[in-house]
Amino acid sequence: MQLFGEIFGAIYLYLDSMAFLFLSAVGLIIILGMMGITNLAHGEFMMLGAYTAVLATRAGLPFPISVVFASLMVGLFGMVLERLIIRRFYGNLLQSLVATWGISLIISQGMLVLMGPSLQTIRMPLGGITVAGKAYAAYRLLLAVIAIGLLIVMWYVFHRTKFGMRARGAMQNAEIAEAMGINTSRMYQFTFGIGSALAGFAGALYAPTTVLAPLYGASFLAPAFVTVVVSGGANVIQGALITSVLLGIIEGTSSRLYGTFIGRMALLAAAMVILRVLPTGISGYLETRGERAR
Amino acid sequence: MLRLKQLTSGYGSVPVVRDLSLDIKAREITVILGRNGVGKTTLMKTIIGVLPTMQGSITFKNTDVTKWSASRRARFGMGYVPQGRGIFPRLTVEENLLMGEFINIDSGGERLYDKVYSIFPRLDERRRQKGGTLSGGEQQMLAIGRALVGNPNLLILDEPSEGVQPSIVQDMVPILKGLMEELGLTILVVEQNLDFAMSLADRCYVMDRGTIVAELDKSEMTDSERVRRYLAI
């Protein structure tokens, strides 16, 4: 029984770690993979999602509805931002970094002015469950289930729908896709909207698990960013999955043994080592290896 | 079918195509011959709209499309087979073909998947294979097929013979001629492979330094000495 408890505890920890890495990174990965834009405001988008969900819940909406509402709002916000600002920086990595970084500063400082330095969050839904004498948050288990569900949905959208096929085509060769009658400009706006909505979704989901502050975006961004960079390559879903599992195991193990701070450190160290060995990232490596095998 | 009037275009502010005027007649195969670097690909990209027109105008099916985006022109009936074929390497053969279905969608014509598979049975055998794993010739068939499924009015091919083995290049001649006749297609090809161009063309132009410098009629085309002199090869 005690062994079972140990195993369950470990699985819980790993799932929690992986789910967070996956959910926080997936929007960033989609935007980077499709559009070549590294959205440094991703963390702020998550923060906006969290704020929206909390405020909507406080206003009386049920929490699940608030999460959906927050995703939609942040997605819409992203689409407007793409039209006004982001699209001017396509194909220019450095400028797009500066632009999105500027956006992140404006959002976080703006929220600080509007909402004050912190926001009382809402209670974690669902309460706890006890396994082998230890208490676990049922909500964190639900998050893991949601992450797996989202993974399946994303895979389906990208590999089984016409939209996904066109998106992958535009990713591989935008100019030819455009010459085939695909409106890449609209597709980019839509993609940026989806990526933003996923950021809002992740932020809203994790809102009850943390203290909210306008400057919290940065701490959201770091692990998401590491996951994306380590993933690399153009195979969005596969990359996000493999990388968040691998980094989840590394972070989970080290924080289990030495605490959260060391866990975060181990995450960064692992990222550095992996990128030293595989400069194009895990998914990039699998891709070139696959091509060589042919 | 397609009328270019004093067209100037290029990259940034540097014009590559200069003051080029040309009339492409319907249901003909027009070939533009030119050496490397005379602006053939730039011209093709300007016609399909991935490069903006700096000056002049492009009229397609009696409609001024100069300011249209590439996707809108494709939807209006321009099918494009790019230089180097531009296959989506990580999409399957079937998916690559599906990508072409927007071409000419505006006139609501039928989609020609079965037709493409019957012209190119090799593609039928390789439906589930990734585009990037095909040979050069097969990729060329796929690129042509992808532009054809949408049933375009105008098919534009940028150096289709490049990187394709000679026997397949020769096979392409009757296929393209057959398509023109059967589907009432207008075909525009830029080439530097003289023999291929000769056997294909109804009408032939020579391009040099960004503009059309000569038109060759049928009798001149058989006088290959003269053509070679134009091309200064």
Rounded to the nearest 5 degrees, what angle is found at the Cα of A226, between the Cα atoms of A224 and A230? Answer: 120
Across B125-144, average pLDDT: 92
Instruction: Assess contact for B132 and B124: CB atoms under 8 A.
Output: no
Our count of domains for chain B comes to: 1
- Are A165 and B95 in contact (CB < 8 Å)? yes
CB pairs under 8 A between A and B: 73
Could you give the CA distance from residue A245 to residue A240 in angstroms, rounded to a whole number?
8
Could you give the CA distance from residue A160 to residue A55 in angstroms, rounded to a whole number?
36
Residues 6+ apart with CB under 8 A from A82: A188, A189, A192, A193
DSSP SS3 for B1: coil
Could you give the CA distance from residue B155 to residue B187 in angstroms, rounded to a whole number?
5
- Are A176 and B86 in contact (CB < 8 Å)? yes
Q: Specify which residues B190 forms β-bridges with.
A: B32, B158
Interface test with chain B among A165, A168, A180, by most B beta carbons within 10 Å: A180
Segment A205-239, tens digit of pLDDT: 998 888 888 887 877 787 777 777 777 666 777 77
Instruction: Assess contact for A204 and A66: CB atoms under 8 A.
Output: yes
Q: Nearest residue on chain B to A166, judged by CA atoms?
A: B99
Segment A163-197, tens digit of pLDDT: 888 888 888 888 899 999 999 888 889 989 999 99
Interface test with chain A among B11, B65, B87, B88, by most A beta carbons within 10 Å: B88
Q: Does B203 touch chain A (CB under 8 A)?
A: no
| pLDDT band with cut points at 50, 70 and 90 for residue B30 | very high
- Out of 1.10.287, 1.10.3470, 3.40.50, 1.20.1530, select the CATH number for domain A2-293: 1.10.3470
Q: Which amino acid is at A75?
A: G
User: B138: domain CATH number?
Assistant: 3.40.50.300
Spell out which residues of chain B touch residue A166, defining contact as CB-CB under 8 Å: 99
Spell out which residues of chain A touch residue B69, defining contact as CB-CB under 8 Å: 178, 183, 185
Interface test with chain B among A34, A165, A173, A176, by most B beta carbons within 10 Å: A176
- Are A180 and B103 in contact (CB < 8 Å)? yes
Domain positions in chain A: 2-293
Please give, rounded to a whole number of angstroms, the shortest distance from the CA of A286 to a CA of chain B. 13
H or E segment and range at residue B219 = helix B218-222
Q: Which of B71, B89, B146 sits opposite A172 (nearest CB)?
A: B89
Which residue stretches of B49-101 are H helix?
Answer: 70-76, 93-98
Q: Which pTM value belongs to this model?
A: 0.82
- Are B98 and A162 in contact (CB < 8 Å)? yes
Strands B78-81 and B154-158: parallel
DSSP, res B139? H
Q: Does B83 touch chain A (CB under 8 A)?
A: no
- Are B98 and A165 in contact (CB < 8 Å)? yes
Could you give the CA distance from residue B144 to residue A278 in angstroms, rounded to a whole number?
37
Residues 6+ apart with CB under 8 A from B207: B32, B33, B34, B38, B39, B40, B43, B190, B213
Q: Does B11 touch chain A (CB under 8 A)?
A: no
Q: Nearest residue on chain B to A235, judged by CA atoms?
A: B90
DSSP, res B127? T
Could you give the CA distance from residue B137 to residue B121 in angstroms, rounded to a whole number?
13
DSSP, res B92? B
Reported residue count of chain B is 233
Could you give the CA distance from residue B130 to residue B152 in angstroms, rounded to a whole number?
25
Q: Is the per-residue pLDDT at A294 higher than 50?
A: no
Segment B155-214, tens digit of pLDDT: 999 999 988 888 888 888 999 999 899 888 999 999 988 888 888 999 999 998 899 988
- Are A181 and B102 in contact (CB < 8 Å)? yes
Token reading at A211: 């203290």
DSSP, res B207? E
| pLDDT band with cut points at 50, 70 and 90 for residue B104 | confident
Q: Is the per-residue pLDDT at A85 higher than 60?
A: yes
As separate numbers, helices (DSSP H) first and strands (DSSP E) second, chain B gives: 10, 10
Segment B44-92, tens digit of pLDDT: 999 999 999 999 999 999 999 999 999 999 999 999 999 989 999 889 9
- Are A185 and B69 in contact (CB < 8 Å)? yes
DSSP SS3 for B90: coil
Instruction: Assess contact for B204 and B197: CB atoms under 8 A.
Output: yes
Q: For chain A, give the DSSP string.
A: -HHHHHHHHHHHHHHHHHHHHHHHHHHHHHHHHHH----TTHHHHHHHHHHHHHHHHHTT--HHHHHHHHHHHHHHHHHHHHHHTGGGGTT-HHHHHHHHHHHHHHHHHHHHHHH-S-B--PPPTT-EEEETTEEEEHHHHHHHHHHHHHHHHHHHHHHHSHHHHHHHHHHH-HHHHHHTT--HHHHHHHHHHHHHHHHHHHHHHHGGGS-B-GGGHHHHHHHHHHHHHHH-SS-HHHHHHHHHHHHHHHHHHHHHHH-HHHHHHHHHHHHHHHHHH-TTHHHHHHHHHHHHH-
Segment A123-149, tens digit of pLDDT: 888 877 877 777 788 888 899 999 999
Reported residue count of chain A is 294
Domain encompassing residue B177: 2-231
Spell out which residues of chain A touch residue B48, defining contact as CB-CB under 8 Å: 179
pLDDT of residue A240: 81
Q: Which of B69, B91, B133 sits opposite A169 (nearest CB)?
A: B91
Q: Which of A165, A181, A294 sits opposite B74 (nearest CB)?
A: A181
Strands A128-131 and B203-208: unpaired
DSSP SS3 for B185: coil
- Are A179 and B75 in contact (CB < 8 Å)? no
Token reading at A94: 């450095």
**Burial call B98-114: b when 16+ CB within 10 Å, e when fewer:** bbbbbbbbeeeeebbbe
Q: Tokens 């797009």 label which residue?
A: A96
ipTM of the complex: 0.87
Q: Does B69 touch chain A (CB under 8 A)?
A: yes
